[in-house]
Amino acid sequence: MKNQGNPYIPHLATVEDTWYETYGDRAIKTFRVVFQEEEVKEAWEHKPGQCAMIGVLGVGESMISISSSPTEGNFLRFSVMRMGKVTQALHQLEPGDTMTVRGPYGNNFPLEEWKGKKILTIGGGIGQAPLRPIVEYVRANKSDYGDLTVLYGARTSNDLCFKNEFDELQKCQTVSSCHLSVDLEEEGWTHFVGFVPTMLMEVNPSPENTIAITCGPPIMIKFVLQNLKKLGFEDEQIYTTLENRMKCGIGKCGRCNAGPLYVCKDGPVFSYATLKEIPEAFA
Amino acid sequence: MTEKVLQKENWSSFVQALADARELWLPVKEGPLHKFVPYSSEQETPVDLEGYANSSVPPKEAVFPQTETMFRYQTGDQEICPPEAIKERVLLGVRPCDARAMDLVDHVFQWDEDDTYYLDRRKKTALLGLACHEPFPNCFCTSLEGSPGSTQGLDVLMVDLGESYYLRAVTDRGKKILQSVESSLEEASEQGKQAEEIIKKAEGKIGRKVEAEDVPEKLAQLWEDPLWDRISRACLGCGTCTYLCPTCHCFDIQDEVEGYEGRRCRMWDSCMFGEYTLHASGHNPRPSRRERTRNRINHKYHYFVRKFDKIACVGCGRCITSCPVNIDILDILSRVKEAL
């Protein structure tokens, strides 16, 4: 979508609702926003896996995964960890406030291609944000896909995002199995204790007719990929979504490249078959 | 073909006639260095091109300013005001390598999605190039499909014949510009031949060379090679090589607020800076100068080739001449070629 032909001019969006997913130093706040202009609202189309540049005038912009699926309604959701200047300013936004949004950027998860397949998502920490739209999309189009398995872990139970939704996922029929983990033993924790790659081996999903998608800290992704290979997944069955620092979102400003690939244009979604040819992708 | 001759005694009226119809930029001496600046008739510094070899800062600044306002706003208010459109302009005295560089950078700013700021300036900027007759010691344009008389990207090519300039229109726009300043020009006769000889002679004076054809393929195989440690050890990370590079186009975007007046601007950035790729989390995919140097060379001689089928270097030699620790891209390329 273009804004008067100038891709750098953002749209204005109103924050409808916000809530904290996690608290503390690395607090994560979720925003549900709607565009202020009817025209933009109508024209906006995004697919699971895409990102948007969101920001606050006077402070700046950050590239953030769109964590809602288009099947959920005419709004966008972003889950933002408070980390730097822009995310700090975003965290101060309350319902009724305005943020700027431009995009959507990047490619998307090839959900059309995956029709008829079983879907396995493996997330860690804030890495669940780009995976959430897959889960929602597949749930909304259940008849098109096989079993949906969701694996998600964080350092502690306080660092898990979308907690209420996971309670629901564990009960609902559209998800075949949902597994949660925390890194260390906690009082009252009844789910898996250990790192996400270890939980993956424990769950032991079959690679047969399955697509595995993972996102999380680089170190987690590295071991998840290794373990998926051990489980017999082929490179073409494995997808991940990368992030790098970005400014323009449209392949001009230069900084998000991983080797010859621009994460903002060629990604953020990559198959492992593509990524393993790019040594810098795991830097 | 429109060919004209400009007697040097008519230089001032030529410059004034160019400036009357449009904004004129030309290289002006500031201290020991030349820099492209907008011309004003009140300007005290001489505006002739005598003693001008090339500008220290490439003329890319005219189409891709070091800092530019993308839009303005009032803080608190959410109204976004894009900047006013620029006027037609002409750059006088652009060297052929720098014009070729703009052609290369065009790919970046118009692939997939148009960069309106850059393309608007570029469309409105005509290039009146000046062929080189005294190349710098570090020039190596002839190794990269360039030449002291290359017309690629130019609207008009000028050649210094001593007492006069030979001018040849390369594009229709160039032809129109020459028509608009006709009164200070004469018809050319034999000068075209003379110009060709001067260019040929200049080509012969270029001493530095590299055979770059196999470099992209070699770079792909040298990712973990120790040569990157050796090359980057001396690097100070000052970014001069990238700021002065006519094909470097990386930028940062920042908001600036003074009182209630806010503006979003973009400014040149450099892949040689650590912050360029630093994640908010503290993670940096290119944590040291080894990775950054490797990226700079790979971007120009490998990634750009994969994407646009061209090497993103025109052999202007600025990065060699201006590096404070004498890092030499031709030396790097020869090490790359020898490494396998």
Instruction: Provide ipTM, 2 decimals.
Output: 0.92
Crossing angle of the two packed helices B96-110 and B116-123, in degrees rounded to 10: 140
Mean pLDDT is lowest, of A135-144, A245-254, B28-37, B52-61, for B28-37
Nearest C-alpha in B relative to A83: B280
Question: Which residues in chain B (46-75) have CB-CB distances under 8 A to chain A?
Answer: 70-71, 73, 75
Strand partners for B320: none
Question: Which of A9, A59, A247 is nearest residue B251 as measured by Cβ atoms?
Answer: A247
Confidence of residue A1 (pLDDT cuts 50, 70, 90): very low
Please check whether residue A60 touches B, CB under 8 A.
yes
CA angle A13, A15, A19 (to 5 degrees): 150
pLDDT exceeds cutoff 70 at A244: yes
Please check whether residue B114 touches A, CB under 8 A.
yes
Of all residues in chain A, the percent with pLDDT exceeding 90 is: 88
Interchain proximity B295–A257, CB inside 8 Å: yes
pLDDT exceeds cutoff 80 at A247: yes
Interchain proximity A245–B277, CB inside 8 Å: yes
Distance CA A62, CA A55 (A): 6
Question: Which of A84, A98, A279 is nearest residue B78 as measured by Cβ atoms?
Answer: A98
Interchain proximity A8–B80, CB inside 8 Å: no
B76: left (phi over 0), alpha (psi -120 to 50) or beta: left
Interchain proximity A252–B278, CB inside 8 Å: no
Specify the amino acid at residue B12: S
**Residue B207 CB-density burial (10 A; 0-12 exposed, 13-18 middle, 19+ buried):** exposed
Of all residues in chain A, the percent with pLDDT exceeding 70 is: 98
Residue B125, CA atoms < 13 Å, CB-side half-sphere: 27
Let me know: does B210 contact B140? Beta carbons within 8 Å: yes
Interchain proximity A253–B250, CB inside 8 Å: yes
Neighbours of A229 (CB within 10 A): 14
Interchain proximity B269–A255, CB inside 8 Å: yes
Question: Which residues in chain B (209-238) have CB-CB distances under 8 A to chain A?
Answer: 223-224
Tell me the shortest Cα–Cα distance from A251 to chain B, in angstroms. Answer: 8
Spell out which residues of chain B touch residue A98, defining contact as CB-CB under 8 Å.
78
pLDDT exceeds cutoff 70 at A4: no
Please check whether residue B289 touches A, CB under 8 A.
no
Those residues of chain B that have pLDDT short of 50 are none
Crossing angle of the two packed helices A196-203 and A218-230, in degrees rounded to 10: 20
Distance CA A51, CA A67 (A): 9
Q: Best interface-test mutation with A: which of B112, B253, B263 has the largest number of A CBs within 10 A? A: B253
Residue with tokens 């990604």, as numbered in its chain: A267
Spell out which residues of chain A touch residue B73, defining contact as CB-CB under 8 Å.
57-58
* The token pair that represents B85 in the structure block: 């459109």
Question: Which of A6, A10, A58 is nearest residue B257 as measured by Cβ atoms?
Answer: A58
Q: List pLDDT tens digits, range A162-207.
A: 988 988 888 877 777 899 999 999 999 999 999 999 999 999 999 9
Let me know: does A73 contact A142? Beta carbons within 8 Å: no
Spell out which residues of chain A touch residue B70, defining contact as CB-CB under 8 Å.
8-9
Interchain proximity A251–B112, CB inside 8 Å: yes
Distance CA B139, CA B137 (A): 6
Q: Which residues of A21-31 are buried (b: 16+ CB within 10 A; e: fewer)?
A: bbeeeeebbbb
Let me know: does A202 contact A178? Beta carbons within 8 Å: no
Distance CA A211, CA A146 (A): 10
Nearest C-alpha in B relative to A6: B116
Spell out which residues of chain B touch residue A8, defining contact as CB-CB under 8 Å.
70-71, 116-117, 253, 264
Interchain proximity B108–A251, CB inside 8 Å: yes
Please check whether residue B87 touches A, CB under 8 A.
no
Strand partners for A56: A60
pLDDT score of B41: 76
Let me know: does B206 contact B142? Beta carbons within 8 Å: yes
Distance CA B288, CA B285 (A): 9
Tally C-beta pairs within 8 A across A and B. Answer: 113
Distance CA B3, CA B196 (A): 13
pLDDT score of A2: 42
Question: Which residues in chain A (209-228) have CB-CB distances under 8 A to chain B?
Answer: 218
Specify the amino acid at residue B32: P
Interchain proximity A6–B108, CB inside 8 Å: no
Summary mean pLDDT of chain A: 94
Distance CA B187, CA B173 (A): 18
Q: What is the 3-state secondary structure (H, E, C) of chain B?
A: CCEEEEEHHHHHHHHHHHHHHCEEEEEEEECCEEEEEECCCCCCCCCCCCCCCCCCCCHHHHCCCCEEEEEEEECCCCCCECCCCCCCEEEEEECHHHHHHHHHHHHHHHCCCCCHHHHHHHHCEEEEEECCCCCCCCCCHHHHCCCCCCCCCCCEEEEECCCEEEEEECCHHHHHHHHHCHHHCEECCCHHHHHHHHHHHHHHHCCCCCCCCCHHHHHHHCCCCCHHHHHHCCCCCCCHHHHCCCCCCCEEEEEEEECCEEEEEEEECCCCCHHHCCCCCCCCCCCCHHHHHHHHHHHHHHHHHHHHCCCCCCCCCHHHHHCCCCCCHHHHHHHHHHHC
Q: Best interface-test mutation with A: which of B68, B72, B105, B114 has the largest number of A CBs within 10 A? A: B114
* The token pair that represents A234 in the structure block: 């082929």
Residue B327, CA atoms < 13 Å, CB-side half-sphere: 24
The distance of Cα B64 from the centroid of its chain, to the nearest Å, equals: 10
Spell out which residues of chain A touch residue B63, defining contact as CB-CB under 8 Å.
none
* The token pair that represents A21 in the structure block: 């997913």
Tell me the shortest Cα–Cα distance from B84 to chain A, in angstroms. Answer: 13
pLDDT score of A3: 59
Interchain proximity A253–B269, CB inside 8 Å: yes
pLDDT exceeds cutoff 50 at A61: yes
What is the pTM for the complete model shown?
0.94
Let me know: does A90 contact A31? Beta carbons within 8 Å: yes
Distance CA B39, CA B163 (A): 23
Distance CA B251, CA B67 (A): 9
pLDDT score of B78: 82
Strand partners for B27: B36
